[in-house]
Amino acid sequence: MNHFAPSFGIFARRFALAAVACVAITSLTPVPSHAAAKIQHLVSPGGIEAWFVQDATVPLIAMEYAFGGGATQDPANKPGVGNMTASLLDEGAGELDSKTFRERLERRAIELSFNSTRDYFRGSLRMLKDNRDEAFDLLRLALTSPRFDSADVERIRAQITSGLRRDSSNPSALASRKFLQVAFGEHPYGRQAKGTLESVPLIDTADMKDYVRRVLAKDTLRIAVVGDVDPATLGQLLDKTFGGLPARAKLTPVAEVDAAKPPQRAFIPLDVPQTVVTFGGPGIKRNDPNFMAAYIVNHILGGGGLSSRLYREVREKRGLAYSVNESLLWMEHSAIFIGTTGTRADRAGETVDAIEKEIRDIAAEGPTQQELDEAKSYLKGSQMLALDTSSKLASALLQYQLDRLPIDYIEKRNAIVDAVTLDDAKKAARRLWGQGLLTVVVGRAPQAAVQPAAATPPTAKN
C-alpha cells in the first residue's frame, strides 16, 4: 500500500458560475483530463471553507472532511477512545435511536462513516443529489447530538474487542503494533489507535462525549466536496451541518518525535505457518524540501510493485516471498518508511538478509539514471489515472489540504517531479536508508540470523 496522498487528474470542461453574493469562490484553471470539472475554494456565508469540484456528470455528491486530533487525543491510559467514538456516531443521534437512524440512511442510500486516524478524526458522506438535505442533516445530528445509548455502546465495544482478539493472533497485526512501539516508544504514535484488550473495556460514555467536545470544532475542520451541487446551495448545507460546532478545538499538544534510530530488531514468537517481517525506519515529512526526491527513490526501492528492487530481489530472484512492499508514511509530528513481507519460517533469516542488502546498496549508490527516468514517467502518468470516482477525488482533495499543499498543487506536481535530479535521489536514499533498519519478525522460533543478541526479549503480549 502506498501512503502517498493520492495523485489525481481533474476534469477539463469549463462552465460559468453565476455571481453569488453570499458565497466567495476562488476558481483555478482546470487541468485537462477525461471528465469535466475544476477545483474551487468555497467559503460559506458562515465562514466554513471547502475545496469544491462541481460535476454534474452523475447526480451524486461526495464529501470528505477531517478534524485535527485523531488518536493522538486519546487519553494515555485509554487508547481507542477516538476509534470507539467514530464507531458510534452513526448509531443514533438526536431523537433518532440507532435503528431509526440506520433505517433513514438505508432508505435514502446515504453512505455515512467516521474514522479516527493517528492525526485526524475523519468522516465521509455520499448521497444522491435528491437526498442531499436529509444526508447533511443526519450528519449534523451525528456530529452535534450523538446518543451513545448504552446498548449500542456495549454492542460496538464487543465488536471492537472481538477484532482486537483476532489481532492478538494475527502476525501482520502484531508486527505492525510492535514496529510502532519500537519506533515511537511512549509517544502517542506508539499507542494503538484501535485500543487494546485492556483499554477498550474501560472506555465509557463520558470519555466519548469529552472527545467529541474537545476534537470536533471548526478551527481544525477541512472539507472537500465533489458532485452535482451548486456553490450557493453547498454553502448553505455546510453552514447548517458544521455551523453549530464549537469555534475552537481543545486539543492536547502533541510533541514532535523522531522515529528510533536503526538498526534494531525485535522478535515475537507465534506458531503460524508463515513468518511476517516488518521493517522500516525514520522517514521524511511531507513539508520537507527533499520529500519528492524521497518519494521517487522509495518508488524505485519498494513502492513500484512488480518493478521495484525489493520485489525483483526477494520475489523474482530468490523466491523468498510472494510479495514485498515498502512505503513512506508521514504524520503531523513525524515520518517513517515501513515495509512488510511474509516468508517460510526456515527462510526468514535469508529474507531479512536480502532486504538489508538492497537497503545498503541503494543507500550507498542510489538509483541509476534509467531507474529515475522510469519512475518519473510512471508517477507523472499515473496521476491522471489515479481517481475515477467522486469519492476518490474528494478524498484526494482532502489529503492535499491536510498536507498543507496549495490548491493549484496538481498543476505544479509534474514540474516538481521533473526537477528531481539523480544527485537529489542519491542524497534522499542515503538519508532514508543509510542507518539500516528497524526490523520486527513474527513467527516460529527464529534462526540465529533473525534474532541477533541485541534483539528485544521475546514476548507474546507485544
Q: Is 198 helix (H, G, I), strand (E, B) or coil?
A: coil
Per-residue pLDDT for 451 more than 80? no
What is the domain partition of the chain in residue ranges?
24-242, 264-388+405-443
Higher pLDDT pick, 107 / 322: 107
Q: Of 13, 40, 37, give the one whose Cα is nearest residue 24.
A: 40
pLDDT over 90, % of the chain: 77
Q: For residue range 58-98, list pLDDT tens digits in order.
A: 999 999 999 999 999 999 999 999 999 999 999 999 999 99
Q: If one looks up domain 264-388+405-443 in CATH, what number appears? A: 3.30.830.10
pLDDT at site 37: 52
Burial class (CB in 10 A: 0-12, 13-18, 19+), 96: middle
Query: Which has more confidence, 22 or 259?
Result: 259
Whether the pLDDT of residue 215 is over 90: the answer is yes
Amino acid 382: pLDDT: 81
pLDDT recorded at residue 410: 83
pLDDT at 128: 97
Poorest-confidence range of 153-167, 193-207, 432-446?
432-446
Check: CB of residue 196 under 8 Å from CB of residue 77: no
pLDDT at 453 over 90: no
Q: Please tell me the predicted confidence (pLDDT) of residue 446.
A: 57
The reply to whether 24-242 and 264-388+405-443 are identical in fold is yes
Which residues, including other chains, have CB under 8 Å from residue 123's CB and lie 6 or more apart? 64, 65, 66, 112, 113, 114, 115, 139, 143
Which stretch of 354-358, 435-439, 442-446 has the lowest confidence by average pLDDT? 442-446
CB neighbourhood size of 154 (10 A): 10
Model pLDDT for residues 20-52, shown as the tens digit of each residue: 333 444 434 333 343 335 899 999 999 999 999
Q: What is the per-residue pLDDT across 126-147, written as a single tens digit (0 to 9) for each?
A: 999 999 999 999 999 999 999 9
The phi, psi pair for 215, rounded to 5°, reads: -100, -40
Reply yes or no on whether the pLDDT at 163 is more than 70: yes
Which residues, 6 or more positions from 254, have their beta carbon under 8 angstroms from its beta carbon? 72, 188, 332, 333
Mean pLDDT of the chain: 88
Q: What percent of the chain has pLDDT over 70?
A: 87
Looking at 31-40, 242-251, 277-286, which range is the least confident one?
31-40
Per-residue confidence (pLDDT) for residue 390, from 0 to 100? 87
Distance of alpha carbon 191 from alpha carbon 421, whole angstroms: 38
- Domain range 24-242, its CATH number among 3.40.50.2020, 3.40.50.720, 3.30.830.10, 3.40.630.30: 3.30.830.10
Q: Which of 28-42, 51-65, 403-417, 418-432 is least confident?
A: 28-42
pLDDT at 13: 29
Mean pLDDT value across residues 383-399: 84
Q: What residue has cell string 481544525?
A: 220
pLDDT, tens only, 290-329? 999 999 999 999 986 778 999 998 988 888 888 899 999 9
pTM: 0.86
How far apart, in whole angstroms, are the C-alpha atoms of residue 174 and residue 167? 7
From residue 323, alpha-carbon distances to 1, 132, 176, 289, 297 in Å are 12, 43, 17, 31, 19
355: helix, coil or strand? helix
Q: Which of 107-116, 142-151, 297-306, 429-438 comes out lowest in average pLDDT?
A: 297-306
Residue 235 confidence (pLDDT): 98
